[in-house]
């Protein structure tokens, strides 16, 4: 189903997965939850798709007055770029996100500068549009374990650093659905094989922390979720069955970065990281599906691997600075 160019699918009787259309179809989602006349958005996409979200609310028979929560998992712009604009249209809503990230939605100037540094100005404007500051009086900083009421449901906020130090998940106890943002990696539906998904870690700049990510996965899986709802992309049943694949991908990224670090050659490092990542991920895909269309896989992975290589380079720089500080 689609409205104003935004495709969506029913996740269950109380939620919808919405394709925001960023980058390509089935790459970036946000979720709409409903209970007892109240609505919540988990992630929002960019400001470019807010009009589509507003029309979807109407198409589903609701109104913007019913939106109670706007809940970015973290403030990266593919997840939260539209949060301020959406808040402006939903007069009864509160925007709530990780306490570390919230200041950047109230004043998004640093977010914009950082995104331009990663994507370039032209791509930033095309992909993310305008960043609207969120009204501080309508915002709430979330702490680990905090409970949010949505109708008769309770959503629990879970601090899950690793992809970003301001990342959190939302757990719906009623459905045992875990809304994972980027903390359960990237799922490419096109690469599923015989009912088995294929997952890849996302180390997008600037706060990749593999050790804390593994700990966050322990925390997430201890909840025994029946479903993981990924921003990239879509609901995934039985996530406990697939967690080892993600852990392996995190470890693959770490090993590639550390091998590059040992070489001591910083010139052209980002390009070599991207090449090594593509080679390793294609190898993992061949193990996953021996008949995989290699050209399709390269096309699907290219942009995310480019961002991952930037993230690994930042991680190596941080490691070097930490070592220098400890020896100084």
How far is CA 269 from each of CA 258, 273, 306, 310, rounded to the nearest angstrom?
12, 6, 12, 10
Q: Are residues 219 and 134 in the same domain?
A: yes
236 and 261 in a single domain? The answer is no
Question: How many structural domains compose the chain?
Answer: 2
Rounded to two decimals, the pTM is 0.95
The C-alpha atoms of residue 7 and residue 1 are separated, in whole angstroms, by: 5
Burial class (CB in 10 A: 0-12, 13-18, 19+), 169: buried
Tell whether 41 and 136 lie within a shared domain: yes
- The parts of the chain modelled with pLDDT lower than 70 are 1-5, 328
How far apart CA 161 and CA 45 sit, in angstroms, is: 20
Residues 195 and 115 reside in one and the same domain: yes
Cβ–Cβ contacts within 10 Å for residue 126, how many? 11
Shared domain check, 237 and 299: no
Q: Does residue 133 sit in the same domain as residue 175?
A: yes
Q: Which domain holds residue 85?
A: 2-241
89 with 208, same domain: the answer is: yes
Encode burial over 274-309: b for 16+ CB neighbours within 10 A, e otherwise. Answer: bebbbebbeebbeebeeebeeeebeebbeebbbbbb
- Which has the closest alpha carbon to 136: 183, 97, 171? 97
pLDDT at 114: 78
Whether 11 and 76 share a structural domain:
yes
Residues 76 and 189 grouped into a single domain: yes
Q: Which of 241, 273, 306 is the last residue of a domain?
A: 241
CATH of the domain at 55: 3.60.15.10
pLDDT of 113: 86
Q: Pick from 192, 218, 241: which residue ends a domain?
A: 241
Give residue 133's pLDDT: 96
- Decide which of 188, 219, 241 is a domain's last residue: 241
């Amino acid at each position: 189903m689609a409205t104003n160019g935004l495709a969506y699918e029913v996740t269950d009787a109380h939620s919808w997965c919405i394709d925001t259309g960023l980058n390509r179809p089935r790459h970036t989602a946000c979720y709409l939850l409903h209970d007892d006349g109240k609505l919540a958005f988990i992630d929002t996409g960019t400001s470019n798709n807010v009009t589509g979200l507003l029309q979807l609310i109407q198409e589903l028979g609701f109104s913007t007055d019913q939106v109670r929560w706007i809940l970015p998992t973290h403030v990266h712009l593919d997840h939260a770029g539209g949060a301020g604009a959406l808040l402006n249209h939903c007069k009864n809503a509160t925007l709530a996100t990780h306490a570390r990230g919230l200041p950047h939605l109230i004043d998004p100037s640093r977010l914009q500068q950082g995104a331009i540094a990663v994507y370039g100005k032209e791509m930033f404007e095309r992909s993310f549009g305008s960043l609207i500051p969120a009204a501080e009086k309508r915002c709430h900083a979330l702490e680990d374990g905090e409970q949010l009421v949505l109708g008769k449901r309770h959503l629990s906020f879970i601090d899950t650093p690793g992809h970003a130090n301001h990342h959190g998940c939302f757990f719906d106890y009623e459905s045992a659905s875990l809304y994972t943002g980027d903390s359960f990696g990237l799922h490419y539906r096109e690469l599923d094989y015989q009912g088995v998904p294929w997952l890849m870690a996302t180390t997008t700049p600037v706060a990749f922390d593999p050790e804390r990510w593994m700990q966050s996965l322990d925390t997430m899986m201890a909840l025994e979720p029946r479903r993981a709802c990924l921003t990239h992309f879509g609901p995934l049943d039985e996530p406990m069955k697939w967690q080892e694949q993600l852990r392996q991908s995190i470890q693959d990224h770490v090993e590639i970065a550390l091998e590059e670090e040992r070489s001591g050659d910083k010139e052209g490092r980002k390009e070599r990281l991207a090449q090594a990542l593509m080679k390793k991920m294609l190898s993992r895909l061949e193990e996953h599906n021996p008949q995989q269309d290699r050209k399709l896989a390269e096309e699907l992975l290219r942009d995310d691997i480019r961002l991952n290589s930037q993230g690994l380079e930042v991680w190596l720089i941080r490691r070097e600075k930490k070592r220098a500080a400890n020896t100084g």
